[in-house]
Structure 1
């Protein structure tokens, strides 16, 4: 009886100890973003990446995912990560220009940056010993993982237009200094508005048009509001990334870090390739839905290129005046673009 009486607590103690060991081996990562349910970036990149990280670590890593601004507004994602409210978050540098002023280098209207070459050039820079990495990420105590870019932005208006000249004086929603500079060059007025707030601004007439990509109109239900969209004009791009708190990153075992980094490169590239393909598909969907497509004549294209040719150099010079190493980072990016990415 004594043995039996002693054995039960002993077994219970072993079970508790085993459970504690399992719990301690489990790594939980809280990840947040501002995307609505079903957004293509989440479906193409974020979720598959999380699932494969969990799989390749043998279940050691578990993610708690908070979409649709559940933990905070899009503009607050960087500070939420820095404070540890989220371990990881989707951060748009253009939403925090005072903290990440140099990343919009990847949004400049450079022909060589269109497509995945631009995306992966940025990816390689922020994952190397670059000034861009040091000034926009290391200084903020965060580390970049997944990188997202988009095709060249177009302009979509709430009323029909027949040429770019019709945009003069119009208020156009933009994100970031790079795209704002392009919009100013054609005589329109750039208005900075975070993506989750765009529909309300356009529907209320706060802005006359928006700087967006075809595919992104659908998840934010903007397609019913636009009457005209430009085609094949490079108004600049979009760059963003899922970042991780530096303390959290350093607490991870090396094998987990390796899996997360390797898969981040894989899914950053895959997502880029997918959005580039979908861009053409969704342009056709919008036209079929009644949107008028504005294609520039050769003369209009030449005029646009002449007006925007020096945007990149001016962007860098403006940052230099503020002591922000704009020219250094622009050279880094151009040098990386020249490589095979």
Structure 2
């Protein structure tokens, strides 16, 4: 009798509980950072949750961190080829492939990562339709302006000569070479090994990532100036995006906006900036603030990068003057231009 009652109760519970429904769209988001890196909890996860809520649970995403689906430089092709549905891609990890976007990598343009992200999105989104035509561009996520961190002091451009430098991207690698240094080109997750094993003498990195990647024990000297940015992007596989219903594509489109680029970037920007204060407070680290004359030396040294960028864009059939003007206008409009 007890078994009959238990069975009846279970049947009643099943009838009243309602079906457990799976998401209509299951997406894989791949990135190459550790899952504890601020980008995941402060950027990706809130973005994913907003999409889930806006779609009433129809769209779900699973994150694959730490290069589980492929190496950092491969993430653009992973989105293109459908190895992942969405990838977190650094265009600067592939030298020469995206010459137009290379403009964003030239130092002394972007003053901050928050409104800077919005400005970069407004500027590049229409250009991505051509330069990144085999994926769907969604968001831009720059880090807070980074600088040079080194074993020995680096104060002026002449100090780069003869040193091995881990550059943030292809444009910074070009800069290092122009100044007489040698580039040690490895993605961020491999930077610690390069500096601790002596392969590199210095690196370009945002402030708190020195702590995040455990590099603070090896780099004790820091050039105290907002120097450059490195931008990442969220890119969709086109077939994945095109295969969604119109209703679901609308949800994605609403989360691939300049405003979302800014929102996505705020948490990481604040986190990176906090690293500077840690170093100021630490007796183990030395920050050097260049004089106005030394800042000008750095700015003058970067001018050949603009010349090279113009030549690269012209060679691809682009109009560097128009592209540059729209870039500066977007930065000014969003109060993000380096002055």
TM-superposed CA distance for 1:43, in Å, is 1.3
Structure 2 equivalent of residue 89 of structure 1: 87
Structure 1 equivalent of residue 238 of structure 2: 246
Structure 2 equivalent of residue 278 of structure 1: 271
CA RMSD, 1 decimal:
2.7
1:170-249 mapped onto 2 (5 Å cutoff): 170-234=163-227, 236-249=228-241
Contact persistence 2:43–2:268 (CA under 8 A): no
Secondary structure of 1:64's match? strand
**Compared CA separation, residues 293 and 197, structure 1 to 2 (3 A):** same
Matched, 1:73 2:67: no
Tell me how far apart the structure 2 counterparts of residues 222 and 208 of structure 1 sit (CA, whole Å).
Answer: 12
Tell me how far apart the structure 2 counterparts of residues 100 and 110 of structure 1 sit (CA, whole Å).
Answer: 20
Which residue of 126, 130, 135 maps to 1:135? 130
1:138-149 mapped onto 2 (5 Å cutoff): 138=133, 141-149=134-142
> Which consecutive unaligned segments of at least 5 residues does structure 1 have?
1-14
Contact persistence 2:184–2:199 (CA under 8 A): no
**Compared CA separation, residues 54 and 194, structure 1 to 2 (3 A):** same
Greater share of helix: 1
Tell me how far apart the structure 2 counterparts of residues 163 and 331 of structure 1 sit (CA, whole Å).
Answer: 29
Secondary structure of 1:145's match? strand
**Compared CA separation, residues 256 and 74, structure 1 to 2 (3 A):** same
Contact persistence 1:103–1:239 (CA under 8 A): no
Contact persistence 2:139–2:256 (CA under 8 A): yes
| TM-score of the pair, normalised by structure 1 | 0.83
Which residue of 280, 291, 296 maps to 2:285? 291
Secondary structure of 1:192's match? coil
Tell me how far apart the structure 2 counterparts of residues 191 and 315 of structure 1 sit (CA, whole Å).
Answer: 21
Secondary structure of 2:229's match? coil
> Which consecutive unaligned segments of at least 5 residues does structure 2 have?
1-14
Contact persistence 2:25–2:59 (CA under 8 A): yes
Instruction: Point out the more displaced range, 155-164 or 199-208.
Output: 155-164
Tell me how far apart the structure 2 counterparts of residues 337 and 297 of structure 1 sit (CA, whole Å).
Answer: 25
**Compared CA separation, residues 210 and 204, structure 1 to 2 (3 A):** same
Secondary structure of 2:217's match? helix
Structure 2 equivalent of residue 169 of structure 1: 162
TM-superposed CA distance for 1:255, in Å, is 2.6
| TM-score of the pair, normalised by structure 2 | 0.83
**Compared CA separation, residues 310 and 99, structure 1 to 2 (3 A):** closer
Tell me how far apart the structure 2 counterparts of residues 94 and 262 of structure 1 sit (CA, whole Å).
Answer: 26
TM-superposed CA distance for 1:184, in Å, is 3.9
